[in-house]
Structure 1
Amino acid sequence: MTRLYQLFQASTGVSTDTRSIQKGNLFFALSGTNFNGNQFAAKALEAGASYAVIDDPQYANEKTFLVENCLQSLQALATEHRKKLNTPIISLTGSNGKTTTKELIAKVLSYKYKIIATQGNLNNHIGVPLSLLQLKADTQIAVIEMGANHQGEIAQLCKIAYPDYGYITNFGKAHLEGFGGIEGVIKGKSELYQHLISKDKKIFINQDDPKQVELTQDYPNRISFGSDPTSDYAIHKTTNNNFAQIKIGDEVIQTQLLGLYNAQNAAAAAAIGQYFEVPLHHIKEALSSYQPSNNRSQITNHGSIKIIMDAYNANPTSMLAALEEVSQLKADQKTIILGDMFEVGPTWKEEHQTIVDTLKKQAYTNVFLCGKQFMQTDLPEQFCAVAETKELIPVLSKKDFSEQLIFIKGSRGMALEQLLPYLKEQ
């Protein structure tokens, strides 16, 4: 590890992809189910890598560094770097809203501190170490997102990152298949709080979430926020014209995020900002100016068409919450385009039927459903359903969406963003 850390310090950063490697990078030849990363070591060196870390001796040369396991070495290097710098780390996980909340926290804290934050959703056993290796000597706070779809994964990520602070956005019906049901989700996500139970660590909890309150009632180190005035940070959450809004004392903070569920995310960022003594006017500026992107509740206008693109991911909890918010939006005509929700487990048909029943109850007529799971539900005749996203293209191309509000949501694998060019005024 001493020698590997020296190579890292002398490098311009770490790379695991020869397509984006920069001159002087330390390349880790990670392997997957269908590829051997060691085969790309020579290519990485040709592209300018300073060294290539490999775990197969047949690819060794004077510019390679042989280890037993490349992934484990990457993780160990990240932990070594994190411990040497001892930068305060805030980690967050949860079923919904992780990435948005991470970005809000990062934006708030950046008004006072030099920070780094997880890029995009690099929140797994590879992404977390890569994020930690972005730490610099002058980094004052790191905001690290942690994702998981099985029990034990958050605990493993905590052993890599050793966070000082933690927050769980919520416990919802996400990755039910891997976690083994909602109780498995709660147990798996709570591994973050279990890691932080010692008195020198801190956890942030949403006082308005009974499950979080119940799980942490014996924790001596919790910091609460919520509408209850006895919370450490009293923050009232509401909406204004269906956009998330929070109130701290007499200060009203209006966001550009749709829905009450995003008010919770904004409240978490505000509470963490207050804890770290970011002035309230900077918290307000950060939250009110944040614009969602990357297909997360992203609102765009195309002529007379307004599109709410929320197709980065989906699960039963987030889908129902979003549909409830959309149902309250004022619009002469609405079009709903939904894709299958993946990793739901044995209850997949029941969960997809609940979504269909909700759409029926909300009396939508322009509904387009993509995916083999939606296809197997009991659908009204007026709903259009296809097995693959691309099958919707010729259907949508013939329609006039003038003056429409269009809501799009589905799991990442459905790639619903490919439909955007076909939502036009005729």
Structure 2
Amino acid sequence: MEIAKLHQLFLNCNAANTDTRKIKLNDMFFSLKGENFNGNKYAAQALDLGAKYAIIDEPEFKTTDKTILVENVLKTLQNLATYHRNYLKTTIIALTGSNGKTTTKELINTVLKQKYNTTATIGNLNNHIGVPLTLLSMTKKTEVGIIEMGANHQKEIDFLCNIAQPDFGYITNFGKAHLEGFGGVEGVIKGKAEMYNYLIKNDKTIFVNLKDPIQIEKTRNANTFSFGTNKANINIKFIKASPFVFCTLDEILIKSKLIGAYNYNNIAAAMAIGKYFKLENDIIKKAIENYTPTNNRSQIVKIDSHNIILDAYNANPTSMQAAILNLEKQSGNTVAILGDMFELGDEAKAEHQNIANLAESLDIDLVIFIGENFYRAEIKSIKFKSFDDFKNEYDIKSIKPSTILIKGSRGMALERILPLF
């Protein structure tokens, strides 16, 4: 079926859906396939559960005129998303980066929704499936779409940009993340900068942090709107992070609920984008000050006499370094519970040793390492090969009242530590 005709059918549906467990009445179900599943087998079930149409790519599963046969379901989902994006003509802001992109996306959305009807990526649905689903969740009421793009190899950001066709873009930073897939730090820079290449080629606007020399270098021939220094378009300044980030916007003091100096750039980017979209300073101030982090990202959790910095959603060498340097600055007794960092490939051994060396060199009262990579490192501190070993062998209640950093990659799921208190 032609995309234009399929789009007409989609406009009469409630939403795009790829999971029969979340089907709602009048959804359009896309029968995606993976290594261990075949969504075509669930097409009939989706219709029984209330889906208006089921998109399939295997003829034997066409049982009714509500099952629509296409050559490739995934490609159809992506093409439909691009068609829908152009049909709506919604302003699209895309962002990627090694660290902080989800927090930055949430902050941008928090600011812009004060004036505009916005749709933003939900959670971390930021890949070749999540981006199309986000685009298809937009309606004629959506004035600004905020699309987070994740990647772990070359050409992925370029591919996502061609689906979403953004009008604006921002890259949070270029750090040591997904080194295995990108092939080292230079590969990370090349891969993330694919967003810049798309925006420059299409004469779009890039938001730039002038404190980042890589951002400056990669956007020399671009339309830019900047923040970060006295030479920038917007006057934003860092004041302190003790532990919450304080900064100013045009000399107006803003007190955020985000901890760590590393979150300043995320806040500054959201404020700069708010200014570009003509929001008043007092509205931006209120939005930033009311934002509270969730989903295990720099959350402050109070348990008994402990202040816990729960940053267990993800980790890489760049974000881990920033988090433990921030912990050292906190007053009182400090504890770092650090879990393995994933997707580092050949660099895993060296990067875990580097983090271990740094953590042990800082003025942190207690450091505990969890995970096979840290366990293999040369470490004087307490270490455990697995979370279960930590849980079974360490009495966490023996820790005196402290500020406690809990950080590790998603696969470590270190939020499981909280119930142990």
TM-score calculated relative to the size of structure 1? 0.96
Going from structure 1 to structure 2, the CA distance change for 1:136 and 1:318 (only over 3 Å counts) comes to same
Which of these residues, 143, 147, 151, is aligned with residue 144 of structure 1?
Answer: 147
Matching residue of 2:348: 348
Query: For the residues of structure 1 that align with 2:30 and 2:263, how far apart are their CA atoms?
Result: 37
Aligned to 2:287: 286
**Aligned-residue offset at 1:242:** 3.0
Distance of 2:227 and 2:351 partners within structure 1: 31
Judged with a 3 Å threshold, the aligned counterparts in structure 2 of structure 1 residues 172 and 398 are, in CA distance, closer, same or farther, namely closer
Matches within 5 A, 1:165-244: 165-198=168-201, 200-219=203-222, 221-227=223-229, 229-244=230-245
Aligned-residue CA RMSD (Å)? 1.3
Shift of 1:362: 1.3
Structure 1 pair 324–3 and aligned structure 2 pair: CA distance change class (3 A): same
* C-alpha contact 1:152 1:188 (8 A) present in aligned 2: yes
Partner of 2:68: 65
Contact 2:293 2:299 in 1 (8 A): yes
8 Å CA contact 1:341–1:411 kept in 2: the answer is yes
Q: Which residue of 1 aligns with 2:92?
A: 89
| Local SS of the residue matching 1:325 | helix
Question: 2:362 — aligned with what?
Answer: 362
Identity %: 50
Question: Which residue of the partner structure matches residue 3 of structure 1?
Answer: 5
Q: 2:53 matched to which residue of 1?
A: 51
1:386 equivalent to 2:384? Answer yes
Task: Name which of 14, 19, 29 aligns with 2:16.
Answer: 14
In structure 2, the residue matched to 1:373 is 373
Aligned match of 1:415? 413
Moved more, 74-83 or 369-378: 369-378
SS of match in other structure, 2:356: helix
How big is the shift at 1:200?
Answer: 4.3
Partner deviation per Cα, 1:189-247 (whole Å, 9 max, x = no partner): 0011111115741000001111111111122x1111112x2211121123242322221
30-39 or 244-253, larger mean C-alpha shift: 244-253
After TM superposition, give the deviation of residue 305 of structure 1 in Å: 1.5
SS of the counterpart of 2:33? coil
1:324 equivalent to 2:322? Answer no
Q: Quick check: 1:257–1:292 contact (8 Å CA) kept in 2?
A: yes
Question: 2:118, 2:136 → 1: CA distance?
Answer: 13
The equivalent residue for 2:44 is: 42
CA distance in 2, matches of 1:173, 1:312: 16
Cα offset, 1:145, TM superposition: 0.4
CA contact (8 A) 1:245 1:254 kept: yes
Aligned equivalents of 1:385, 1:360: Cα separation in 2: 12
**1:239–1:263 contact (8 Å) kept in structure 2:** no
Contact 2:241 2:259 in 1 (8 A): no
Q: CA deviation at 1:356?
A: 0.7
* C-alpha spacing 1:113/1:256, structure 2 compared with 1 (3 Å): same
Describe the SS at the equivalent of 1:252. strand
Give 2:339's aligned amino acid.
G
Mapped partners of 1:237, 1:391: distance in 2: 41
**How many equivalent pairs are there?**
418
Equivalent residues of 1:238, 1:260 under 8 A apart = no
Change (3 A) 1:208 1:268: same
Give the aligned partner of residue 153 of structure 1: 156
In the alignment, the residues of structure 2 paired with residue 361 and residue 133 of structure 1 have an alpha-carbon distance, to the nearest angstrom, of 49
Q: 2:239 & 2:251 partners in 1: Cα distance? A: 14
Deviation at 1:39, TM superposition (A): 1.1
Q: 1:272 corresponds to which letter in structure 2?
A: I
Deviation at 1:396, TM superposition (A): 3.9
Question: What per-residue deviation string (whole Å, max 9, x for no partner) do you get for residues 163-185 of structure 1?
Answer: 00000000000001100111110
SS of 2:289's partner is helix
Structure 1 residue 252 corresponds to structure 2 residue 253? yes
Higher mean displacement: 76-85 or 247-256: 247-256
| 2:70 maps to amino acid | V
Letter in 2 for 1:102: K
For 1:388 and 1:238, locate their aligned partners in 2 and report how far apart those are by CA, in whole Å. Answer: 39
Contact conserved, 2:53 with 2:67, CA < 8 A, in 1? yes
Q: Could you tell me how far apart the structure 2 residues matched to 1:390 and 1:46 are?
A: 42
Structure 2: state its 5+ residue gaps: none
Quote how far apart the aligned CAs of 1:368 are.
Answer: 2.0
SS, match of residue 20 in structure 2: coil
SS at match of 2:287: helix
Query: Alpha carbons of 1:328 and 1:365: their partners in 2 closer, same or farther (altered >3 Å)?
Result: closer
* Residue 28 of structure 1 pairs with residue 30 of structure 2: yes
Change (3 A) 1:239 1:398: closer
Distance 2:39 2:240 in 1: 49
Structure 2 Cα separation of the partners of residues 45 and 199 of structure 1: 41
Q: Which sits farther off after the overlay, 51-60 or 399-408?
A: 399-408
CA drift of 1:3 comes to 2.5
Q: Which among 120, 123, 126 is matched to residue 126 of structure 2?
A: 123
